């Protein structure tokens, strides 16, 4: 006779007699501690605490640079050009402007840039070119002023080289203007 509760559960199987296989028991799953996550959160908390606890100090270096006395740099007024003349170069339409440079400033001049304005026959500016001024050596040839600075109150022969002249240039001396002067304060 089948008990009544068995009739209501058709998947029930009565226990078998004799040896039986026991399903494998699995060890309970352990929750792993999120170590790296906790380490990152702790480091962020420590960093935040350090930043908040540091006193705010104005940037002393920036203030000291702004307040520092800058030595007076030479200007175009302290550079005087005299006895300027055009000298044709040995190739093409290139030419030199030779003359004398007088350092009337307080420091050694290590570089000068001149802008030459080339004009047409009607006086219209056709082109402007900026070139460095070079010292002239006694035996000929040019010398960079950074290698041989011009001392205060010294007069030095100088040369500026122009290799590209504009079409329609009137072949007169370009209008020269000092655009940059560098020096070392002695």
113 closest CA partner among 161, 178, 164:
178
The C-alpha atoms of residue 134 and residue 177 are separated, in whole angstroms, by 15
> Could you tell me if 87 and 98 are in contact, meaning their C-beta atoms sit under 8 angstroms apart?
yes
pLDDT at 7: 55
> Could you tell me if 97 and 176 are in contact, meaning their C-beta atoms sit under 8 angstroms apart?
yes
pLDDT at 62: 47
Q: pTM score > 0.85 for this model?
A: no
Q: Dihedrals φ, ψ of 93, to 5°?
A: -95, 10
80 closest CA partner among 97, 99, 102, 100:
102
Residues 6+ apart with CB under 8 A from 151: 103, 108, 186
Query: What are 34-85's pLDDT values in tens digits?
Result: 777 778 888 888 888 877 777 665 555 545 444 444 444 445 568 888 999 9
Query: What are 126-164's pLDDT values in tens digits?
Result: 999 999 999 988 777 788 888 889 999 999 999 999 988
pLDDT at 69: 47
Percent of the chain at pLDDT > 90 equals 28
> Could you tell me if 114 and 173 are in contact, meaning their C-beta atoms sit under 8 angstroms apart?
no
Which helix (H) or strand (E) segment holds residue 7: the answer is helix 4-8
The C-alpha atoms of residue 9 and residue 166 are separated, in whole angstroms, by 110
């Amino acid at each position: 006779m089948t008990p009544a509760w068995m009739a209501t559960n058709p998947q029930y199987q009565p226990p078998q007699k004799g040896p039986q296989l026991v399903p494998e028991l699995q060890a309970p799953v352990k929750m792993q501690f999120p170590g790296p996550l906790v380490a990152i959160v702790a480091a962020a908390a420590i960093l935040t605490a350090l930043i908040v606890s540091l006193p705010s100090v104005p940037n002393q270096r920036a203030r000291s640079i702004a307040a520092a006395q800058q030595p007076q740099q030479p200007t175009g007024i302290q550079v005087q050009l005299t006895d300027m003349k055009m000298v044709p170069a040995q190739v093409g339409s290139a030419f030199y402007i030779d003359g004398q440079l007088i350092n009337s400033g307080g420091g050694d001049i290590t570089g000068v840039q001149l802008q030459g304005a080339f004009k047409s026959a009607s006086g219209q500016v056709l082109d402007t070119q900026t070139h460095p001024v070079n010292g002239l050596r006694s035996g000929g040839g040019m010398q960079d002023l950074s290698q041989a600075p011009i001392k205060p109150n010294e007069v030095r022969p100088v040369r500026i080289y122009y290799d590209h002249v504009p079409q329609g240039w009137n072949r007169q001396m370009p209008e020269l203007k000092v655009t940059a002067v560098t020096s070392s304060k002695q």
